[in-house]
Amino acid sequence: MPIKCENVTKSFGQVQALKGVSITFEEGKIYGLLGRNGAGKSTLLNILTGRIFADSGSVTVDGEPAIENDRAQSKIFLMSEKTLHPDAMKVREAFRWAKAFYPDFDEDYAMNLAGDFALNTGAKIAGLSTGYHSIFKLILALSVNVPYVLLDEPILGLDANHRELFYKRLLEKYAEEPFAVVLSTHLIEEVASLVEDVVIIKEGQVLRQESRDSLLSQGYTVSGGAAAVETYIQGRSVLGVDSLGGLRTAYVLGQPDKSAGSAQDLEFGPMDLQKLFIQLTNS
Amino acid sequence: MKTKASLRYQLRDQRNAILVYYSVITLMVVLSLVFMPFSPADSYFSISSGGITAVTGMFAGVLSLCTFKDCFLLSLQHGVSRKSHFLARLGSLGLVCAIMAVGDEIYTLILKLLEHIFPGRFFASSLYEMIYCSDYMELSSGTYRSIQTTTTTILLSVVFSFFFLLAICSFTYLVSVLNFRLNKVGKIIFWVSWPALFVLLDAFLVAHPQFANSLVPVLTRLASMTISTLPRLCLTCLAASAVFCGITWLLMRRAHAK
């Protein structure tokens, strides 16, 4: 049973943040929620968790209305960019209260994760650095044990080591018992190998919702000498071209034509999610 | 389940402040006892505490002003619906007022006990006794005769304090929710307009004394109708609390994370 939102619209004054968004997030899948700044990703996640209200449309969790419904909301956990915990609360207190609200919250696992990330559990939340703020929220999200975990910019301010550790722990947790993870991020390259389905939002509308493989199979990369690549891409739908010295890589929509005369000295590879995203969302 | 957890959190959020408040007023009594032997034998030295609930009312009002935002946002973080949060708030409001009403009475009784041990040195009466018990009186400046404390008086004092605190806490909580809902411009208009309104009203009454003369009897009669007896006061406070809580719910049900 999924989280389902249908025809959700939301405006902030003159700005229409969401325009009839319909999305389904199924249990046991990792989603990449992608969109440019102001596309409506955070607004959508906040509506799913009842933090803000949609102007119209409906949201259901496992078939029951999600808005103002404790039972439905107890299946979702949103780690948003903004921390909603009181400034004076300590990290370990936050873990204890999370257990009070989510009975399946694994306090021991949270404390172990805090140890892995070197997070001081005696520190006040307000005193944490940007990176440790993110780590604190990530630990909550990984320990909460609910069917749907929504992560809004989860790796904000995290260094490479901590990002690596987070991906590792996330995959371990997911392998133990699959749950739905929605990763809303701008670091597409990093999550590209993690996500199974991709949702692309552009200007408040869902541009694509399909599996990563299906999305990437719509294009390919072709690399080689500048002249050969230029000849090959003539008359084809090209998303973009990268140049490095005399070498070129072109991102092309469609299926590779290895039999073409100009293809002999070229290398073909899979499409890059970030390149595809950039092309799809460029106005 | 979430209502219970939210109630627990809201009570926990107010617990420390209440403990500090009662510790401070108890400490003042302890300090009085400590310094009593050092007072000159011929000097007049007495400690009187009349109507501690009036002070508790101010404290409870400020406490309620400070409880909304943190608790509400934490509830949203943990998927608690506004309805559950509001129900938990009603529960915590009732419990906190009951605890403080009992706390005030215990404080008053402790002072009354000291009055028996050190006659003439301590004097205590509850706000209920001061307002509604006719045999409480001031004999002369600084000397009092307190009423006979009975179980009924104690119970009525607690009832009085409970409803009195309930009305105050519901009102200040409403103010804090309203403040949360208002945007920046709304806040400025709201908080500037109230004092401005009072200044204008004052100027109007000075300019039109005949209006003031007719207003005072109306207000006196209104006060007599609403608070002249304990049952009337309880009903008034309860009605006021219901109205304040009703408006609070209307404001809270569409509030969102900021």
Cβ count near B103 (within 10 Å): 21
Chain A (215-254) residues lying within 8 Å, Cβ to Cβ, of chain B: none
Residues B27, B173: Cα–Cα separation, whole Å: 29
Percentage with pLDDT > 90 across chain B: 66
Q: Do A100 and B3 touch (CB under 8 A)?
A: no
User: What's A52's DSSP letter?
Assistant: S
The structure's pTM equals: 0.89
Residues B218, B212: Cα–Cα separation, whole Å: 10
Residue A140: left if φ>0, alpha if ψ -120 to 50, beta else—which one?
Answer: alpha
Residues B252, B6: Cα–Cα separation, whole Å: 15
Provide the total of helices (H) and of strands (E) in chain B, helices listed first. 9, 4
The mean-pLDDT minimum among B5-14, B83-92, B138-147 falls in B138-147
- pLDDT of B42 > 70? The answer is no
**pLDDT reported for residue B43:** 66
The model's confidence at residue B136, banded by pLDDT at 50, 70 and 90, is: low
Contacts of A50 in chain B (CB under 8 A): 76, 79, 81
**pLDDT reported for residue A238:** 87
Residue-wise DSSP of A150-200: EEESTTTT--HHHHHHHHHHHHHHHHHS--EEEEE-S-HHHHTTT-SEEEE
Q: Do B74 and A68 touch (CB under 8 A)?
A: no
- pLDDT of B138 > 70? The answer is no
Residues of chain A with pLDDT under 50: none
Sign of CA dihedral A251, A253, A257, A262: negative
**pLDDT reported for residue B116:** 86
Q: Does A38 touch chain B (CB under 8 A)?
A: no
Contacts of A98 in chain B (CB under 8 A): 78
> Residues 6 or more apart from B151 whose CB is under 8 A from it?
none
Compute φ and ψ for B210, nearest 5 degrees.
Answer: -65, -35
Contacts of B87 in chain A (CB under 8 A): none
Average pLDDT, integer, range B48-69: 93
Average pLDDT, integer, range B151-168: 95
Q: Do A46 and B84 touch (CB under 8 A)?
A: no
Mutate to test the interface with A, among B77, B80, B87, B184 (most CBs of A within 10 A): B77
**pLDDT reported for residue B147:** 62
Q: Do A85 and B78 touch (CB under 8 A)?
A: no
**pLDDT reported for residue B70:** 94
Q: Contact A208/A215 with Cβ under 8 angstroms? A: yes
The model's confidence at residue B258, banded by pLDDT at 50, 70 and 90, is: confident
The model's confidence at residue B41, banded by pLDDT at 50, 70 and 90, is: low
Please report how many Cα atoms fall inside a 13 Å half-sphere around the Cα of residue A166, on the Cβ side. 26
Compute φ and ψ for B177, nearest 5 degrees.
Answer: -70, -40
| b/e burial code for range A187-201 (CB count within 10 A of at least 16 → b) | ebebbbebbebbbbb
| For helices A130-143 and A107-116, angle between their N-to-C axes, nearest 10 degrees | 150
The model's confidence at residue B63, banded by pLDDT at 50, 70 and 90, is: very high
C-alpha distance across the termini of chain B, in Å = 25
Per-residue pLDDT tens over the stretch B177-204: 999 999 999 999 999 998 999 999 989 9
> Residues 6 or more apart from B184 whose CB is under 8 A from it?
none
**pLDDT reported for residue A95:** 97
Domain boundaries, chain B: 2-181+227-252
How close is the nearest chain A Cα to the Cα of B193, in Å?
25
